[in-house]
Amino acid sequence: MNLEEAQARIHQLIKEIKSHNYNYYVLSEAKVSDQDFDSLLQELIHLENNFPEFLFSESPTQNVGGEINKNFQTVAHNYPMLSLGNTYSEADLLAFDQRIKKIIGEEFTYVCELKFDGLAMGISYSDGKMIQAVTRGDGSKGDEVTENVKTIHSLPQNYNSDGLPSSFEVRGEVIMHRKAFNKLNENRLKNGEQVYANPRNFASGSMKLQNPKEVAKRPMDCFMYGFYSNERLKEGHYENMMALKSKGFNVSQHIKKCDGIQDVLEYIHYWEKNREQLSYDIDGIVIKVNELNLQEELGFTVKSPRWAISYKYQALQVQTLLKEVTYQIGRTGAVTPVANLEPVQLAGTVVKRATLHNANEILRLDLHEGDTVLIEKGGEIIPKIISVVPEFRLKNSIAVIFPENCPECGTKLIRKDGEAVFYCPNEKECSPQVIGKIQHFTSRKAMNIDSLGEETVALLFTNNLIHSIADIYTLRDKQNLLLGIGRLGQKSVDNLIIGIEASKEMPFEKVLFGIGIRFVGETIAKKLAFHFKSIDQIKAALYDELLEADEIGDKIALSVIEFFADEDNNELIEQLKSSGLNLETDQKMMKSTSTILEGKSFVISGVFEINSREDLTKIIEENGGKILSSVSAKLNYLVAGENMGPSKLEKANKLGVPIINETDLLNMINNENTL
Ligand code: IVH
């Protein structure tokens, strides 16, 4: 190996080992086996010995007491280390209670404990001494980390063994208190080291350190919640825990015996409100049947005991690390920054990404690469970043800068007057925009071509088979080219063609919505189709004529005019026409099936039991009624479903607009009740 090759390999190894260390220590998620990791490290040590000129201070081999992994000895558990069934709902908890009662009757008690958010540890004791500590590992075997565990002061290494079985195992959770976490993380920051995302990762990373002296510098705690022995100590779990406590084992003072499920619920509610007052993180409550003979009777499923369950609290805000900001280009060319995060549990799901909305949001947050951020799940499915945690900002970190050019096609981005969003103006050639437009066309609310989902559209585009909406209708003649692309077999190709052919029956309003004229959403497409009856008449309409249609304002009218001013768009329309799509309203379809709702206007809001919102819209329109999009004094009825927006409800109440439900509406049409 020459000098140049050695240097390149050393750089590569440092990068690779650092990334494995990050996965292991920060994410607590090893991506390589210990053996593979060691061989990379050995190779680096070997090269550094032979080429000392390339011994860099940032090399993981020079990181004293640092995060170099060493194989721990693997030890089989004497008692399998199982997990717990989880629930986030009280209904599930009541069902758990019912199940238990069905098996063991009414005569039992529960024990409630905090669910500590750390890492599980099994610690065996014999004749007054701590013998061995083992991590959970895969549940049947784990890493032997006795020396590391001995640095935890709250764990007795010696105890008075009178009255205890000669050997036993206690199980508990190793945790780090929030205060210690913040302090240690700040130190890491000062030293230019990677910070940990939360106390649990810090605790679990620390337990995996090779050097117990380093572990000792990281104060940790351990709460015990399990006792395992061949001999019975007491008759109940609670009593066992009290016996351990009296011998100096660290059992939480918050453990509580409960008489029934109502007591349990009270405990859960209490800690939901007060958990912030604890000096450490909990993520829920563990509920266990107390009597050991009943625990035995209930037994285990493959993964967890039937006598216990954990009730998890919904985390509504949580800290995590920003890994990278990427940019998504939508079908309209709008550029949306997306924060890619270190995955973290939040309100019942694992969050990996958060929306950053637009360039202003990045400035508001003063976002820097590698920042620790506080994220929150509001009403939306995609969580948002509330703020940066300034104490954890890395030294010399670089501010996130919104790009000036489109990250996909390189075109200079533009910002329209009064809008916060940047757009890529290259709408005809910027791939994500073209793909997005085709995906919109085939989507459920537009042409509803089920067999041509988002992935297939992207696949066909990247394989040069479609470049525009019109190209979809040329696929029938290219079937031989479709076969074998991605995972497309004969059956998928057949379905694809059937779906495409069927879409030719879709009504004009759907086609109009699908072609994606800016600001022409579903409702507006319907209004335009209803008013003008054909694409040619919409195209021919002058500005003032467009404004005459229901709900069409200045912005939409201008957008329609702009669309038809572009020759490419007109060509697209002609192609769609010659492919046989409906570009006129079907007069039969437009006829109302009754006129009972004539002159009456409706706003539909919420989720309905019998019909979808689309169906209700159709029913109202088919019976002569008119759909409006917002509540005003002119509105005749608000049709309210489940989970409707409170503002609509409030406004309707204020204006005295009658609020009816789905059944009222259907009755109205069936003339049972004219309201
Ligand atoms: S009892 C058979 N009690 O939660 C399982 N576990 O999801 C016995 N945990 O691996 C576990 N606090 O790491 C139990 N008070 C508590 C707990 C607790 C935290 C953790 C433990 C376990 C995981 C199960």
Q: How much is the mean pLDDT over the chain? A: 88
Q: Which residue minimizes the CA distance to atom 2 of ligand 1?
A: 82
Atom of ligand 1 nearest to the CA of 86: 7
The tokens describing 198, both together, are 């939360």
In the three-class reduction of DSSP (H, G, I as helix; E, B as strand; rest coil), residue 483 is classed as: coil
Task: Provide the pLDDT for residue 35.
Answer: 60
pLDDT digits (tens, 9 = 90+) for 377-419: 754 557 889 899 988 888 888 999 999 999 999 999 999 877 8
CA angle, 315 then 321 then 324, to 5°: 125
Q: What distance in angstroms lies between residue 564's CA and the mean position of ligand 1's atoms?
A: 64
Q: Is 468 left (phi over 0), alpha (psi -120 to 50) or beta?
A: beta
Task: Provide the pLDDT for residue 68.
Answer: 35
pLDDT digits (tens, 9 = 90+) for 585-612: 875 444 457 788 999 999 999 888 777 7
Atom of ligand 1 nearest to the CA of 118: 13
The tokens describing 124, both together, are 């065996």
pLDDT at residue 65 greater than cutoff 50: no
Atom of ligand 1 nearest to the CA of 226: 1
Q: What distance in angstroms lies between residue 217's CA and the mean position of ligand 1's atoms?
A: 26
More confident residue, 464 or 68: 464
Q: What distance in angstroms lies between residue 353's CA and the mean position of ligand 1's atoms?
A: 28
Task: Provide the pLDDT for residue 650.
Answer: 86
- Residue with tokens 């206690």, as numbered in its chain: 170
Q: pLDDT band for 618, please (50, 70, 90 cuts).
A: confident
Residue 533 amino acid letter: K
Mutate to test the pocket of ligand 1, among 254, 255, 280, 310 (most ligand atoms within 8 A of CB): 310
Q: What distance in angstroms lies between residue 313's CA and the mean position of ligand 1's atoms?
A: 15
Mutate to test the pocket of ligand 1, among 78, 204, 282, 286 (most ligand atoms within 8 A of CB): 286
Task: Provide the pLDDT for residue 578.
Answer: 95
Task: Provide the pLDDT for residue 589.
Answer: 45
Atom of ligand 1 nearest to the CA of 304: 2
Between the alpha carbon of residue 328 and those of residues 28, 340, 368, 414, 423, the distances in Å are 29, 12, 19, 15, 11
Q: What distance in angstroms lies between residue 434's CA and the mean position of ligand 1's atoms?
A: 50
What is the rounded distance in angstroms from the CA atom of residue 442 to the CA atom of residue 84? 44
Q: Is 510 a catalytic residue?
A: no
Average pLDDT of the residues in 149-173: 94
Mutate to test the pocket of ligand 1, among 112, 115, 222, 306 (most ligand atoms within 8 A of CB): 115
Task: Provide the pLDDT for residue 40.
Answer: 85
pLDDT digits (tens, 9 = 90+) for 173-215: 999 999 999 888 888 877 767 778 788 889 998 998 888 888 8
Concatenating the DSSP letter of every residue in 81-141 gives -----EES-HHHHHHHHHHHHHHH-S---EEEEEEE-SEEEEEEEETTEEEEEEE-TTSSE
Q: What distance in angstroms lies between residue 115's CA and the mean position of ligand 1's atoms?
A: 7
Task: Provide the pLDDT for residue 675.
Answer: 45
Task: Decide: residue 599, CB within 10 A, 0-12 exposed, 13-18 middle, 19+ buried.
Answer: exposed
Q: What distance in angstroms lies between residue 322's CA and the mean position of ligand 1's atoms?
A: 29
Average pLDDT of the residues in 512-531: 92
Atom of ligand 1 nearest to the CA of 310: 7
Atom of ligand 1 nearest to the CA of 300: 2
What is the rounded distance in angstroms from the CA atom of residue 294 to the CA atom of residue 100? 10
The tokens describing 605, both together, are 């809001």
pTM comes to 0.52
Instruction: Give the whole-number percent of the chain exceeding pLDDT 90.
Output: 61
Task: Provide the pLDDT for residue 175.
Answer: 96
Average pLDDT of the residues in 107-118: 96
pLDDT digits (tens, 9 = 90+) for 629-642: 899 999 999 999 88
pLDDT digits (tens, 9 = 90+) for 258-288: 999 999 999 999 999 899 899 999 989 999 9
Q: Which residue minimizes the CA distance to atom 12 of ligand 1?
A: 115
More confident residue, 14 or 66: 14
Q: Which residue minimizes the CA distance to atom 13 of ligand 1?
A: 120
What is the rounded distance in angstroms from the CA atom of residue 131 to the CA atom of residue 215? 19
Q: What distance in angstroms lies between residue 244's CA and the mean position of ligand 1's atoms?
A: 17
Catalytic residue among 101, 115, 588, 618: 115
Atom of ligand 1 nearest to the CA of 114: 15
Ligand 1, residues at Cβ distance < 6 Å: 82-84, 113, 115-116, 120, 136, 173, 225-226, 286, 304-305, 310
Return the minimum-mean-pLDDT range out of 484-488, 550-554, 634-638.
Answer: 484-488
Q: Which residue minimizes the CA distance to atom 3 of ligand 1?
A: 225
Task: Provide the pLDDT for residue 503.
Answer: 96
- What is the β-pairing status of strands 119-126 and 141-143? unpaired
Task: Decide: residue 442, CB within 10 A, 0-12 exposed, 13-18 middle, 19+ buried.
Answer: buried
Mutate to test the pocket of ligand 1, among 79, 84, 237 (most ligand atoms within 8 A of CB): 84
Instruction: Give the whole-number percent of the chain exceeding pLDDT 70.
Output: 93
pLDDT at residue 346 greater than cutoff 70: yes
Q: pLDDT band for 517, please (50, 70, 90 cuts).
A: very high
pLDDT at residue 321 greater than cutoff 70: yes
